[in-house]
Amino acid sequence: MIPANILRNMLLGSVAFVATAGAALADGEVNIYSYRQPELIQPLVDEFTKETGIEANVLFLDKGLVERIAAEGANSPADVILTVDIGRLVEAKDGGVTQPLSSDIINKDIPAQYRDPAGEWFGLTTRGRVVYASKERVPETAITYEELADPKWKGRLCMRDGQHSYNIGLFASMVAHHGAEYTEKWLSGVKENLARKPDGNDRSQAKAIMAGECDIALGNTYYVGLMITNEKDPEEKEWAAATKILFPNAADRGTHVNISGMALAKYAPNKDNAVKFMEFLASGKAQEIYAEQVFEYPVLPGAKVSDVVASFGPIKPDTLPLTDIAANRKAASELVDKVGLNEGPTQ
């Protein structure tokens, strides 16, 4: 058996390894495979260890998580999968690297719309896909996603790659609400309103607004929090200061949200500890720690948001089940290509 300290170093250092059958069976451990940056989840890991005495080992991967676990097979040390985006959670389930979990504690704390009906994944926090708007040039205080295709925004809209998972999630929600035919026409209108070809990330959309390249952009709420609090790059604070957040469809169905989430790994060698960790993450205390760290909204009803997030104003989340969004992601992706969204406006 590999000693616990060596396994921990292997995990933390993201060293490629293939575990032997008994490698991760040491008492008092849980092994976490994470798409989230280590610094974002470390406070949660520390609190869990403090409360339970169970040592949590974290392996961070920026890609290939599902393929990694599948390749490791029954010898995989993975106990818990942490990731962002409903697409990646469904990918883990469809990739056969998760197993169902029935926990009264988790089901009590996490609303049904944020968990897989079969218990193979659970949401932890949400982020709104909102509109960043210029404080100087956009007097509007309300907007809908549907309005993004209105010609009044021609040449004034920026966004990142239309095929990025954040945008595909939003477009899939439009398919779920309106159907593919409507969404195709809507995406064509959005395309013609673009100020340039989709490019960059969410933060660079805020930069473009400050530079006057566009007046509105699609972005996730938490990036604003990250920019506001970025002490290492004062320029990002300036980008955030130049923009305001508009929560689309606040007056009707609500703003599209995506999630960070968790799943129980298929072969979890430390299953009991994995369940304890997952139940801890679903708790109010952990959700508030997580939300404070990543500037997202806890899924637990009534859980406190960070002061930074509270400053954005209230969010009314779309109640559309995430499973409905996941079911329409392929159609949304095909429509992005069909209308040539990433090619930018025709003139």
Q: Residue 309 domain-assigned? A: no
Is 297 annotated to bind ligand?
no
Rounded average pLDDT over 227-242: 92
Is 223 annotated to bind ligand?
yes
**Each residue of 243-279: pLDDT tens digit?**
999 999 999 999 999 989 999 999 999 999 999 999 9
pLDDT for 27 beyond 90: no
pLDDT for 7 beyond 80: no
Question: What confidence score (pLDDT) does residue 2 get?
Answer: 40
pLDDT for 188 beyond 80: yes
Rounded average pLDDT over 56-79: 94
Query: Are residues 110 and 133 located together in one domain of the fold?
Result: no
Rounded average pLDDT over 234-244: 94
Burial class (CB in 10 A: 0-12, 13-18, 19+), 237: middle
* Domains identified in the chain, total number: 2
Query: Are residues 333 and 244 located together in one domain of the fold?
Result: yes
- On whether the CB atoms of residues 320 and 112 are closer than 8 A, the answer is no
Q: Which residue has the higher pLDDT, 15 or 242?
A: 242
Q: Residue 307 domain-assigned? A: no
β 257-265/243-246 pair status: unpaired
Query: Are residues 291 and 326 located together in one domain of the fold?
Result: no
Q: Residue 186 domain-assigned? A: yes
**Each residue of 305-344: pLDDT tens digit?**
889 999 998 899 999 988 899 999 999 999 999 999 999 9
Query: Are residues 118 and 130 located together in one domain of the fold?
Result: no
At 169, which CATH number? 3.40.190.10
Mean pLDDT for the chain?
90
Q: Binning pLDDT at 50, 70 and 90, where does residue 84 land? A: confident
Q: Token pair for residue 154?
A: 């021609």
pTM: 0.84
Rounded average pLDDT over 164-191: 97
pLDDT for 294 beyond 90: no
Q: Token pair for residue 328?
A: 């329409």
Q: Residue 168 domain-assigned? A: yes
pLDDT for 20 beyond 90: no
Q: Residue 265 domain-assigned? A: yes
Rounded average pLDDT over 28-41: 90
Q: How far does CA 153 lie from the centroid of its chain?
A: 27
Question: What confidence score (pLDDT) does residue 40 get?
Answer: 81
Question: What confidence score (pLDDT) does residue 57 get?
Answer: 95
Q: Residue 206 domain-assigned? A: yes
Query: Are residues 108 and 16 located together in one domain of the fold?
Result: yes
Query: Are residues 161 and 199 located together in one domain of the fold?
Result: yes
pLDDT for 17 beyond 50: no
Q: Residue 170 domain-assigned? A: yes
Query: Are residues 87 and 216 located together in one domain of the fold?
Result: no
Query: Are residues 72 and 217 located together in one domain of the fold?
Result: no
Query: Are residues 322 and 213 located together in one domain of the fold?
Result: yes
* Containing structural domain, residue 327: 126-255+314-343
C-alpha distances out from residue 150 to 36, 52, 135, 168, 244, Å: 36, 54, 20, 20, 20
C-alpha distances out from residue 224 to 128, 289, 304, 311, Å: 11, 18, 18, 11
Query: Are residues 139 and 165 located together in one domain of the fold?
Result: yes
Answer left, alpha or beta for residue 64, where phi above 0 means left and psi between -120 and 50 means alpha: left
Q: Residue 238, SS3?
A: helix
Query: Are residues 245 and 266 located together in one domain of the fold?
Result: no
Q: Residue 235 domain-assigned? A: yes
Give phi and psi for 84, each to the nearest 5: -120, 155
Q: Which residue has the higher pLDDT, 7 or 158?
A: 158
Query: Are residues 217 and 96 located together in one domain of the fold?
Result: no
Question: What confidence score (pLDDT) does residue 300 get?
Answer: 87
